[in-house]
Chain A
Amino acid sequence: MSAPESAVPVLELAHVKKDFPLRRRLEEVVRGSHGSVRAVDDVSIQLRRGEILGLVGESGCGKTTLGRIVMRLTAPTSGRMLMDGQEVMQTGEETQIAWRRSVQMIFQDPYASLNPRFRIWDVLEEPLLIHRVGASRAERAQVIETVMEKVKMVPVRDYLDRYPHMLSGGQRQRIATARALILSPRVIVADEPVSMIDLSTRAEILHMMKAVQQEMELSLLYITHDISTARYFAHRIAVMYLGRIVEIGPADQVIETPRHPYTRALIQAVCEPVPGRVQRLKELPIRGEIPSAAAIPRGCRFHPRCVFARPECADLTEPELEPAGPDHFAACRRLKEI
């Protein structure tokens, strides 16, 4: 899938870092020492107009923290964020509220993200009231109707008076999408939007989101642990490992010709519905388990698990993203050899 090109990205993160303090023992408090976990470590990414960027990684890799930084639910420790080339990092409630109009979020759990005591009408009217959109109830009804049609919850009247518990998981995720769309944002952060939806209807939700995304020329950050849905859904895929982007490129290229050893292992680990695999074990070109973000290995942070690692991978500094193909980058010292 080709990504739409455009000169100025809608959203750009530059050298963003996020540290979380560790809980300190008494002696550490006395000594004044501070331990911390670096959840996001020097991430620079661009979200282009009208593109879906898949952010893929295992739990604890920092992908959700990165999404929260984009949402400005979490302030980064350092780094810059630009929208349409304009700096947006300044704090203050007013800019926060304005930010919400242009950046919205779809959460993972549609059973927890909708207020159970709100009818669907209330769920969708609330953002309009907060942001003073629509002077009268009739005007708001008009906006709500339009957005419900976009997410294919029709006939609209059948749903507005229902409560979330009366809807299926898929229908709830449509409502969550409608709520994210209702202020006509430019960017949507979708954090595992289909991981709790049954496999049989997952594609239905993804198709709906993609149709809306294209129609409204939205930029969408699709955060997921599932590289196989990212392939169907995203234009570009960024692979994150222990707080860093280790590979980024067009979805097809990242899947078909992955360049970073970690991406290769992730792809290798995916099960496929094909016969003849029961009798043999899967070859996994990766060692052990993901280390704690509180003890990030020096050198290349992937080297203890990497099957291609050489002594220099531990000794030299962390590798930076380098060109690995058209619009394709990977951060590996041995990029040219492997």
Chain B
Amino acid sequence: MPAPLLAVRDLQLHYFTSKGVVHAVDGVSFEIAAGETLGLVGESGCGKTSCATALLNIPAPPGRIAGGSILLDGAEIIGMSDRELRRSVRWSRISMVFQGAMNSLTPVYTVRALMAETCREHAGRERLDNARIEQLMRQYIGLVGLPAHVLDRYPHELSGGMKQRVVIAIALFLEPRLVIMDEPTTALDVVVQAQILNLIKELRLRLKLSYLFITHDLATEAEVADRIMVMYAGKAAETGTNEQIFGERGPSHPYTRMLLDATPRLHASTYSADSGPAGSHGPRELTFIPGAPPDLLDPPRGCRFAARCPFAKQKCRSEEPPMAVLEDGHHTACWKAVKDAEYERS
């Protein structure tokens, strides 16, 4: 098997606040193969964005990478200087569409100026001449479905959908292999959302990109992700293929299960077999997960989901479940799912 494009091992990202250390990403491991989309999903505050910022080593202050390893094409990037990262990793190999980026475009810059700035900062390895830069800009603005004259427009002259296309073009035009998409459709209207999702999927095939696709919404992941990693309170709870998570058997971790049950389903054809009272055509009641995620300043012992889990037993509260393999590609950190003998007895 070829080495994955990205291999993250035991990643730790902590926020050193005045109140103490927040363990926002606490020992997370995952891989992304070339051309693959890994979906990263979980509630707000579970560490999704922190995880992504670690890959570019741009955590929001007072955050710092506190341990682990990030191999990009087999080479370690943790420990690289900022200058090195800027010249040889950020944007040229890994780029990111930040959450809400479309509303953070500098209002006094035209799209061309915005793109040129990105180029100046990051295209260090092979200095690009102006003609080549212009050519790349036109090519990528076209690839995201916009006419070339958009390059001369200011952000306020563009609609939400167009701005998001510009943000995607900026993320892509230095030709990275991995693009981190952080909630790229969240603030958009549903029709525009679907159009942007289609664009993201189309670009992936055309440019042979890999994505780390972050969202709080499992339904969106179902649409784009080959594999899904569910995070809870700074840790990975479950990883599985699209089919393993959304297929008939469904997820194995109670958190994923409950998150899926809290996700609305619109069409009758997508209700699972167990939905609704007998004979009804309506959707199953929308459920919710009682309680709130734990405080990561002082995370609980044992499984972090135990306090909200209807299946939690003594063992769950005292001992942290390891990531166990259920079948090829399907991993879960749950005592119940792995039928732990001690759990079953208690």
Which A positions have Cβ atoms within 8 angstroms of B? Answer: 1, 58-59, 168, 170, 198-204, 206-207, 225-229, 231-232, 252, 255-256, 265-278, 281-282, 284, 286, 289-290
Task: Report Cα–Cα, A200/B202, bound state, in Å.
Answer: 30
Task: Report Cα–Cα, A286/B286, bound state, in Å.
Answer: 29
Asked if B290 CB lies within 8 Å of chain A CBs, one says yes
26 example contacts (A-B, Cβ-Cβ < 8 A) are as follows A58-B191, A198-B44, A198-B216, A200-B258, A204-B290, A206-B286, A228-B265, A228-B266, A231-B264, A232-B285, A255-B267, A268-B194, A269-B193, A272-B219, A272-B267, A273-B218, A273-B221, A274-B222, A275-B242, A275-B246, A277-B222, A278-B201, A278-B224, A278-B226, A282-B194, A289-B162
Inter-subunit contact A252/B223 (CB<8 Å): no
Asked if B243 CB lies within 8 Å of chain A CBs, one says yes
Q: How far is the CB of B242 from chain A (nearest CB, A)?
A: 5
Q: Which residues of B contact A284 (CB under 8 A)?
A: 191, 194-195, 198
**A170, A204, A269, A275: which contacts B190 (Cβ < 8 A)?**
A269
Asked if B49 CB lies within 8 Å of chain A CBs, one says no
Q: How far is the CB of A234 from chain B (nearest CB, A)?
A: 12
* Chain B: CB-nearest residue to A196: B44
Q: Which residues of A contact B221 (CB under 8 A)?
A: 273
A252-B281, A275-B242 in contact; A58/B288 too (CB < 8 A)? no
Task: Report Cα–Cα, A274/B219, bound state, in Å.
Answer: 7
Inter-subunit contact A272/B259 (CB<8 Å): no
Inter-subunit contact A267/B289 (CB<8 Å): no
Known: A199-B259, A281-B198. 20 other contacts (CB 8 A): A199-B262, A200-B259, A201-B288, A204-B290, A229-B286, A252-B281, A255-B266, A265-B191, A269-B194, A270-B194, A270-B219, A271-B193, A271-B217, A271-B223, A272-B219, A272-B270, A275-B246, A277-B222, A278-B201, A278-B223
Task: Report Cα–Cα, A1/B285, bound state, in Å.
Answer: 12
Inter-subunit contact A1/B282 (CB<8 Å): yes
Inter-subunit contact B37/A278 (CB<8 Å): yes
Q: How far is the CB of B215 from chain A (nearest CB, A)?
A: 10
Inter-subunit contact A289/B289 (CB<8 Å): no
Inter-subunit contact A199/B263 (CB<8 Å): yes
Asked if B143 CB lies within 8 Å of chain A CBs, one says no
* Chain A: CB-nearest residue to B247: A275
Task: Report Cα–Cα, A106/B224, bound state, in Å.
Answer: 34
* Chain A: CB-nearest residue to B246: A275
Q: Which residues of A contact B220 (CB under 8 A)?
A: 271
A273-B263, A273-B265 in contact; A231/B283 too (CB < 8 A)? yes
Cβ contacts B219-257/A at 8 Å (1 or 0 each):
111111110000000000000001101110000000000
Cβ contacts B268-289/A at 8 Å (1 or 0 each):
1010000000000111011111
Inter-subunit contact A282/B223 (CB<8 Å): yes
Interface size on B, residues (CB 8 A): 55
Q: Which residues of A contact B290 (CB under 8 A)?
A: 204
Sorted from nearest, which 3 A-B pairs have the closest CB atoms? A228-B264, A269-B194, A275-B246
Q: How far is the CB of B267 from chain A (nearest CB, A)?
A: 6
Task: Report Cα–Cα, A168/B292, bound state, in Å.
Answer: 9
Inter-subunit contact A58/B259 (CB<8 Å): no
Cβ contacts B329-340/A at 8 Å (1 or 0 each):
000000000000
Q: Which residues of B contact A271 (CB under 8 A)?
A: 193-194, 197, 217, 219-220, 222-223
Task: Report Cα–Cα, A276/B264, bound state, in Å.
Answer: 18
* Chain A: CB-nearest residue to B255: A200
Inter-subunit contact B190/A273 (CB<8 Å): no
Asked if B176 CB lies within 8 Å of chain A CBs, one says no
Asked if B18 CB lies within 8 Å of chain A CBs, one says no
Q: Which residues of A contact B192 (CB under 8 A)?
A: 58, 289
Q: Which residues of B contact A227 (CB under 8 A)?
A: 190, 266
* Chain A: CB-nearest residue to B226: A278
